[in-house]
Amino acid sequence: ETGVTQTPRHLVMGMTNKKSLKCEQHLGHNAMYWYKQSAKKPLELMFVYNFKEQTENNSVPSRFSPECPNSSHLFLHLHTLQPEDSALYLCASSQPSGTSGGPGELFFGEGSRLTVL
């Protein structure tokens, strides 16, 4: 149990489908993140939310649309994806600097494995 729960764990979708990934953190954190993990590549930061406000968008294509309704929930809406978007999508959360867990330490979920056909 990581304190960060991601659903679904596996998702297969066609290029014309619309689906969403969900992340929920039970740690009382106020920052949430989406990362993309592809084989043999560094984890790629996609989005950062701090107190529900988006603070970073790492030039992510608009076919990925994040939503953060509150500090505990984060969504990634997927639309018209490409096969190269197939990857493991990781959600993480963190506390501000100086609080428990230390400045910047991220707590990760187990990820959603996405396959785009």
DSSP reduced 3-state for 30: coil
Q: Quote the CA–CA distance of 101 and 15 in Å, as a whole number.
A: 39
Contact region with other proteins (CB under 8 A), list: 16-24, 64-72, 75-83, 86-94: 86-94
Residue 51 in the binding site for other proteins (CB under 8 A): no
Instruction: Please pick, from the candidates 76, 87, 89, 111, the single residue that binds other proteins as defined by CB under 8 A.
Output: 111
Q: Quote the CA–CA distance of 17 and 4 in Å, as a whole number.
A: 26
Contacts of 59 (CB under 8 A, 6+ apart): none
Residue 103 in the binding site for other proteins (CB under 8 A): yes
* Cβ-based nearer residue to other proteins, 40 or 83: 40
Shortest gap between Cβ of 27 and other proteins (angstroms)? 13
Residue 94 in the binding site for other proteins (CB under 8 A): yes
Number of residues that bind other proteins (CB under 8 A): 26
**HSE-up of residue 70 (Cα within 13 Å, Cβ side):** 5
